[in-house]
Chain A
Amino acid sequence: MATIYIDNKPYDVKDGGNLLHACLSLGFNLPYFCWHPAMHSVGACRQCAVKQFRSGHDTKGRIVMSCMTAATDGMRISIDDPEAAAFRKSIIEWLMTNHPHDCPVCDEGGECHLQDMTHMTGHVYRRFRFKKRTYLNQYLGPFLTHEMNRCIQCYRCVRFYRDYAGGRDFDVFASHNHVYFGRHRDGVLENEFSGNLAEVCPTGVFTDKTLKKHYTRKWDLQTAPSVCVHCSVGCNTIPGERYGELRRIRNRYNGEVNRYFLCDRGRYGYEFVNSALRIRAPLINPSASHNGGGGPVSGGERVAAKEEVLRYLSDILYFGARAIGIGSPRASLEANFALRSLVGAEHFYMGVPDTDFRLVTLIADVLRKGPARSPSLSEVEAADAVFVLGEDVTNTAPVLALALRQAARQKPLEIARKLRIPLWDDAAVRNAVQNVRGVFSVAAPYKTKLEEVASRSYHGAPDDLARLGFAVAHELNNENPAVEGLPDEVRSLAVSIAQDLKEAKRPLIISGAGCGSEAVIQAAANVAWALCSGKRQAGLCFAIPACNSMGLALMGGGSLGAAFKAAREGTADRAVILENDLYRCAPEEEVNAFFGQIRHTVVLDSLATPTVAKAEVVLPAAAFAEADGAMVNNEGRAQRFYQVFAPDNGIRESWRWLRDIMIAAGRADVREWQGLDNISAALAETLPVFRQAPEIAPPAGFRIAGMKIPRLPHRYSGRTAMFADITVYEPKPPRDPDSPLSFSMEGYQGQPPPALIPRFWAPGWNSVQSVNKFQSEVGGPLRGGDPGRRLIESAGVKAPFFKDIPDAFAPRTQEWLILPSYHIFGSEELSVLSPGIAELTPRPYVGLNAGDTGALRVSEGEEIAVAMNGAEFLLPVRHFPELPSGIAVLPSGIPGLQGLMLPAWGALAKRKTITVTGAT
């Protein structure tokens, strides 16, 4: 700690941190542009100038940039010094010489950092009487609009895009007052995190293009804290709604999880909520009962009243009926638990592909039964040696990949430390570190993007990846069995990786369900466990398929195969399917057979999926932004998400439907399930693993000074007029029995507990930068602690090493091992319904290495027939340069290729040799 004097008053600050960080953390309003808490200082904008004095007697002082000056004990500075204040005002005056006065038509208006800073410095009068500079704008793809005239050249965009996120196709061009930020020519931005530019840019150069299509000012958006549903990382988000339509997603800072950034799938995947495929009322299709067929969306259905549906469901789902429930990894804990309560634990099945069932169950076990800790993303960023085994992280858990890019810098940062360069002096750090690579090994079936930062890489079949992992584990701890018959170069690679990890202070192993291989997960666990000795803790982090895969795995349940068996054997004849498209979980024929065996199919979902088409009764389920609930991310962190807006009359949370079915069926035990809190409490009581579930957020009865937390900003406009075309009476706002949030402008306007922050705003800080005011220290935890509770912790026991080492992969002559390849845009079910994401989704293809395409006598782009799991497809060939011979990949989950159940063996042949019977 150091004591510094700010305008003659003493303050305790962190010794050696920069003054800007210190002043902001103390709550001072000091303007800045080029500095960013995640990207630190470069001293370009000169906006944060303060005056520094040599002593208490020095009255002259010297101007310094607070972002570039280390706070040291006894230091005296002045923020209010007239010269410093006048200079800060001049900076804005200079920026305004060229910045257009287009705030009324600018999408940033009302949440613009430049507006806030202009106001803060007091610049009001324009003295520049000459013409402004103008630029041409670029087309940058479906996510961002580009309006360069507004640019104030703070360089944050290029620093984020290139330095932080590793993008290459965006840069700064030209010089003096013609500096230009963009691409070398028009085109879709390639980086997966490009959408963050809308938040990183302090003004309206980069704005959300999807918002523009249904534009609403920040102050007119209804918002609530939410959690992303598009992968297992569980990034915290702030969705915004107006007129019943979801308008955008913004980042919600959580110091332990996503911190400042989201991926583009998370930011732009939200439009499925507004999709035409939404189910908005209960549907009954009598023709679909008694052994499947037709289905509501095929035209035989009719809209039914809620009461009628519940009465009917209580008839068919009476207590003791041979009903099974199929849960969902994209539904909340509460919804899954309600279904489990409806059908009984022994009739509850996890609605995931059988491979995922095995893998995620294994992962949940590994994290609880071994000594390695499942790290938060902030711990991932701090890792100084990383070994990625078998996962294409950029495409399966993008924000984890962004954190790993920062981890890759940890070891090289020692160069800067040695030179006594403070780590916040970003340009100096990067000049000292240059292109030195971190301690970072990547082993995956094909070349993945993280190899850009890797110091070692390896490509192999899943079994060979596992063998590499087992060999590394053996090198680290000889309790692990040796791997027989390993090629010399793989063995020496294993020795090097083991050495890297052994020398690290905070080693981290990353794996996941991506390869579909238990052996890979076991090998990763062995490596992490072998590293846990004495004081050293190793991190072990898995990417898993869906947003609540971990929650579902912790809840437990039967496999989908077992559910199908129950139907086949007649022990089940009615099924309740929760927020799940079974056609993505099993091959088409098996699912069809299942529906053929079930007499009554009830589906709760938000979207008209092929599964919905098979249902006799369809209940319209709330999408994430319309529901309250909790999910458990890949770390094991349970997080609460809240209803952003009250949906159409017919739409309700799945757990509410399921509760009402139970009540209609006379189940006394759920009578007290008035709201979410009661279900959460029942969950905690029933399943000890969830005993902390009620603690992840304040209960519904929570009030501050007797008030709820308003979802509407205090400046919300048009409230009394927005329904005037329907009625001139202002409708009563919807009630919210489930949370301390209200659908209203009235309520507590101060800072709520961190789990309840509906938006970041502070007086004078309308932009996203206002998050500074919500943190106990800028860049640190939110005041009151970062939200979410870890439900799982490692066991401090002896490592239960896995001993089964698979044989080396042996290519077959007539068959290919077909593995999934992943795409951030396309592989996830919900986001692909957003037009922007759909636009960037690849068309189906089959990936092969050049040698194998040669052997098949096909060239890139040419179609070949792929036969597997009884299905056949005609697919164009795409080259995957590093893919081992004998292996092919198919893009996972993309439209046209769902339900493939990979890995699998299949046949590939030139078009003429196979008779094609058609795709799914």
Chain B
Amino acid sequence: MERPLTQHMKPDGSALDISEYEKTGGYRAVRKALTMAPKEIQEMVRNSNLRGRGGAGFNTGQKWSFVPMGDDAPRPKYLICNADEMEPGTFKDRMLVEKNPHQLIEGMIISAFAIQADIAYVFLRDEYKTAGRRIAGAISEAYRSNYLGKNILGSDYSLDFHLHTSAGRYMCGEETALLNALEGKRATPRAKPPFPQTSGLWGKPTVVNNVETLCNVPHIVKNGVEWYKGLSRSEDGGTKIYGVSGRVKRPGLWELPMGTTVREIFDEHAGGMQDGYKFRCLIPGGASTEFLTGEHFDVKMDFDSVMKAGSRMGTGTMIVLDDTICPVGALYNLELFFARESCGWCTPCREGLPWVVRILKAIEEGHGEPDDLEKLEMHGKFLWLHFTYCALAPGAMEPLRSGLKLFRDEFERHIKEKRCPYENVPAARMNV
């Protein structure tokens, strides 16, 4: 099984420096890309069916194709790496940046070349201190070796490259809020259209791609479309970095063929539940996806299959809930996060999420009222796509909507007994 993204990472967890990276074949893809036409690279990536690894799963090559090209295109154009990984339960991008920063830089150079960007930014979550140090070091190395800067490797192509560490809000991971944050404005999202590809950073054409997405690009260019599609067990191209957290035997991250089943990830790689705990359910792709249960173990983890099963693959890093954790408490914990991370721009999200949190807290603490569930359902219905300004509140509602269905009896029991029946209370009991 090929693991192009992770195979060269060092077991001690340190980053590959530039010479180590070059020895593994690093930066050869850049040399190849510079001989290609930008449109050719766009086509190649599009045909490889590399889908956005930030969670939305949009075809990367297609995303690039909306960028105006040619001499009369507005300048400068920007490529931005979204490394503001803040989705609860998700830590895959951190590994990619920390352990192989040059792979990301190479992916960004090729992607920037493909859209003829003049300036590239890595927009990094501020808490990722180690990643920040390592990517900054790698950027300097790449500049010294002329992979970045003026006339890269003697070509006509130049690229300025910057690291920007975020002030740290979940919202900044939304691509348009990221643009506002990068401009020094409040991290509130922008309405689309216009899309960033035509009016993005400082009003100029901009592409925002996830870390993992960009890390795939050199391998596609180096090894070709067919090779890349062959890595996958589904329609989506390539491998995927899956992760599992919760009370499993071996929580962690694994690079596996796209479309590996939940069962294989959970049983073979994560080793199943820890002794003494029973599996209850999992959230497949970060906090903002709907629950999957035991009956979904044969679902393939790719964008379309998980969608068919009634959830979303999202980031592909699952959170496993066991039977000792109060599901109401777990939802309270999740919603508290989303309520705090709301940017405060649109009414349903700003005012609705805190209400949801208060209701969940009341139920969990034994103050629930019979019509509370109706109110939660109202939020599940109205804090939804098109009703809200961006996808943050709908993302927050995904676990709540499915939780209300799956754990109806648990909610009712809390309200009826006026207490939480679980002894093992998770870390959710924080004050609002």
Please tell me which one of the listed residues B169, B191, B198, B353 contacts residue A68 in the complex, with CB atoms under 8 A apart. B191
Contact of B350 with A by CB under 8 A: yes
Please tell me which one of the listed residues A49, A425, A434 contacts residue B202 in the complex, with CB atoms under 8 A apart. A434
A94 touches B355 (CB 8 A): yes
Contact of B346 with A by CB under 8 A: yes
Which residues of B have CB within 8 Å of A420?
194
Which residues of A have CB within 8 Å of B389?
43-44, 46
Instruction: Please report the C-alpha to C-alpha distance between residue A179 and residue B345 in the assembled complex, in whole angstroms.
Output: 9
Instruction: Please report the C-alpha to C-alpha distance between residue A415 and residue B74 in the assembled complex, in whole angstroms.
Output: 10
A179 touches B344 (CB 8 A): yes
B388 touches A46 (CB 8 A): yes
Which residues of B have CB within 8 Å of A43?
191, 346, 389
**Contacts A90-B348, A434-B202 given; does A425 touch B340 at CB 8 Å:** no
Please tell me which one of the listed residues A62, A95, A434 contacts residue B203 in the complex, with CB atoms under 8 A apart. A434
Contact of A175 with B by CB under 8 A: yes
Which residues of B have CB within 8 Å of A127?
371, 375
Instruction: Please report the C-alpha to C-alpha distance between residue A674 and residue B338 in the assembled complex, in whole angstroms.
Output: 72
**Contacts A46-B346, A94-B352, A176-B342 given; does A421 touch B194 at CB 8 Å:** yes
Contact of A47 with B by CB under 8 A: yes
Which residues of B have CB within 8 Å of A42?
191
B355 touches A128 (CB 8 A): yes
**Contacts A46-B387, A94-B352, A415-B203 given; does A428 touch B347 at CB 8 Å:** no
CB distance from A50 to the nearest CB of B (A): 11
B378 touches A433 (CB 8 A): no
Please tell me which one of the listed residues A46, A64, A153, A415 contacts residue B344 in the complex, with CB atoms under 8 A apart. A153
Which residues of A have CB within 8 Å of B198?
419
A97 touches B355 (CB 8 A): yes
Q: How many residues of B contact A (CB 8 A)?
A: 40
Instruction: Please report the C-alpha to C-alpha distance between residue A42 and residue B188 in the assembled complex, in whole angstroms.
Output: 12
Contact of A794 with B by CB under 8 A: no
Contact of A276 with B by CB under 8 A: no
B351 touches A94 (CB 8 A): yes
A44 touches B386 (CB 8 A): no
**Contacts A43-B389, A428-B194 given; does A91 touch B350 at CB 8 Å:** no
CB distance from B172 to the nearest CB of A (A): 11
A95 touches B191 (CB 8 A): no
Instruction: Please report the C-alpha to C-alpha distance between residue A152 and residue B362 in the assembled complex, in whole angstroms.
Output: 25
Within 8 A of B (CB), among A118-139: 127-130
A421 touches B346 (CB 8 A): no
**Contacts A94-B351, A95-B351 given; does A44 touch B199 at CB 8 Å:** no
Contact with A along B364-375 (1 / 0, CB 8 A): 000001010001
A177 touches B190 (CB 8 A): no
Which residues of B have CB within 8 Å of A433?
203
**Contacts A127-B375, A431-B199 given; does A176 touch B191 at CB 8 Å:** no
Closest to B348 in A: A46
A44 touches B346 (CB 8 A): yes
CB distance from A772 to the nearest CB of B (A): 21
Contact of B267 with A by CB under 8 A: no
Within 8 A of A (CB), among B314-373: 339-348, 350-355, 358, 362, 369, 371
Contact with B along A87-128 (1 / 0, CB 8 A): 100110011011000000000000000000000000000011
Closest to B198 in A: A419
Instruction: Please report the C-alpha to C-alpha distance between residue A64 and residue B169 in the assembled complex, in whole angstroms.
Output: 27
**Contacts A43-B389, A90-B382 given; does A421 touch B352 at CB 8 Å:** no
Query: How many residue pairs between the two chains, A and B, have CB atoms under 8 Å in the bound complex?
Result: 109
B347 touches A44 (CB 8 A): yes
Please tell me which one of the listed residues B202, B347, B378, B386 contacts residue A91 in the complex, with CB atoms under 8 A apart. B347
CB distance from B366 to the nearest CB of A (A): 15
CB distance from A297 to the nearest CB of B (A): 56
Contact with B along A31-56 (1 / 0, CB 8 A): 00000000000111111010000000
Which residues of A have CB within 8 Å of B347?
44-47, 91, 94-95, 152-153
Contact of A919 with B by CB under 8 A: no
Contact of A172 with B by CB under 8 A: yes
Contact with A along B173-196 (1 / 0, CB 8 A): 000000100000011001101100
Instruction: Please report the C-alpha to C-alpha distance between residue A415 and residue B203 in the assembled complex, in whole angstroms.
Output: 9
Instruction: Please report the C-alpha to C-alpha distance between residue A130 and residue B186 in the assembled complex, in whole angstroms.
Output: 29
A49 touches B344 (CB 8 A): no
Please tell me which one of the listed residues A44, A98, A415, A421 contacts residue B351 in the complex, with CB atoms under 8 A apart. A98
Task: From B169, B345, B348, name the one whose CB has the most chain A CB atoms within 10 angstroms.
Answer: B345
Instruction: Please report the C-alpha to C-alpha distance between residue A183 and residue B369 in the assembled complex, in whole angstroms.
Output: 41
Closest to B351 in A: A94
Which residues of A have CB within 8 Å of B355?
94, 97, 128, 130
Which residues of B have CB within 8 Å of A152?
347
A130 touches B358 (CB 8 A): yes
B203 touches A90 (CB 8 A): no
Which residues of B have CB within 8 Å of A174?
344
Contact with B along A404-433 (1 / 0, CB 8 A): 000000000001000111000101100111
Instruction: Please report the C-alpha to C-alpha distance between residue A128 and residue B339 in the assembled complex, in whole angstroms.
Output: 16
Instruction: Please report the C-alpha to C-alpha distance between residue A47 and residue B350 in the assembled complex, in whole angstroms.
Output: 14
Which residues of A have CB within 8 Å of B352?
94
Contact with B along A695-725 (1 / 0, CB 8 A): 0000000000000000000000000000000
Instruction: Please report the C-alpha to C-alpha distance between residue A415 and residue B350 in the assembled complex, in whole angstroms.
Output: 32
A178 touches B344 (CB 8 A): yes
Closest to B344 in A: A179
Closest to B185 in A: A431
Instruction: Please report the C-alpha to C-alpha distance between residue A87 and residue B348 in the assembled complex, in whole angstroms.
Output: 10
CB distance from A426 to the nearest CB of B (A): 10
B190 touches A427 (CB 8 A): yes
B199 touches A176 (CB 8 A): no
Instruction: Please report the C-alpha to C-alpha distance between residue A45 and residue B350 in the assembled complex, in whole angstroms.
Output: 10
Contact of A63 with B by CB under 8 A: yes
Contact with B along A164-201 (1 / 0, CB 8 A): 00000000101111110000000000000000000000
Within 8 A of B (CB), among A455-485: none
Which residues of A have CB within 8 Å of B339?
176-177
**Contacts A94-B352, A97-B351 given; does A175 touch B191 at CB 8 Å:** no
Instruction: Please report the C-alpha to C-alpha distance between residue A174 and residue B362 in the assembled complex, in whole angstroms.
Output: 26
B354 touches A90 (CB 8 A): no
Task: From B179, B187, B190, B347, name the one whose CB has the most chain A CB atoms within 10 angstroms.
Answer: B347
CB distance from A412 to the nearest CB of B (A): 10
Instruction: Please report the C-alpha to C-alpha distance between residue A153 and residue B352 in the assembled complex, in whole angstroms.
Output: 13
Please tell me which one of the listed residues A68, A130, A175, A428 contacts residue B342 in the complex, with CB atoms under 8 A apart. A175
B345 touches A44 (CB 8 A): yes
CB distance from B427 to the nearest CB of A (A): 20
Closest to A428 in B: B194
Instruction: Please report the C-alpha to C-alpha distance between residue A152 and residue B350 in the assembled complex, in whole angstroms.
Output: 10
Instruction: Please report the C-alpha to C-alpha distance between residue A853 and residue B345 in the assembled complex, in whole angstroms.
Output: 50
Instruction: Please report the C-alpha to C-alpha distance between residue A176 and residue B354 in the assembled complex, in whole angstroms.
Output: 9
CB distance from A31 to the nearest CB of B (A): 12
Which residues of B have CB within 8 Å of A95?
347, 351
Contact with B along A42-81 (1 / 0, CB 8 A): 1111110100000000000011100010000000000000
B387 touches A175 (CB 8 A): no
Within 8 A of A (CB), among B378-432: 378, 382, 386-389
B387 touches A432 (CB 8 A): no
Contact with B along A588-609 (1 / 0, CB 8 A): 0000000000000000000000
Question: Which 5 A-B residue pairs are closest in the complex by CB-CB distance?
Answer: A94-B351, A179-B344, A176-B342, A432-B203, A130-B358
**With A175-B171, A428-B190 already in contact, 17 other A-B pairs whose C-beta atoms are closer than 8 Å:** A43-B191, A46-B389, A91-B347, A130-B362, A153-B347, A175-B344, A176-B339, A176-B344, A177-B344, A177-B351, A419-B199, A420-B194, A421-B199, A431-B190, A431-B203, A433-B203, A434-B202
A-B contact pairs, 24 of them (CB 8 A): A43-B191, A46-B347, A49-B387, A94-B352, A95-B351, A97-B354, A97-B355, A129-B369, A153-B344, A153-B347, A175-B169, A176-B344, A176-B350, A177-B344, A177-B353, A177-B354, A178-B344, A415-B203, A419-B194, A427-B190, A428-B191, A428-B194, A431-B179, A433-B203
Binding site for B on A (CB under 8 A): 42-47, 49, 62-64, 68, 87, 90-91, 94-95, 97-98, 127-130, 152-153, 155, 172, 174-179, 415, 419-421, 425, 427-428, 431-434
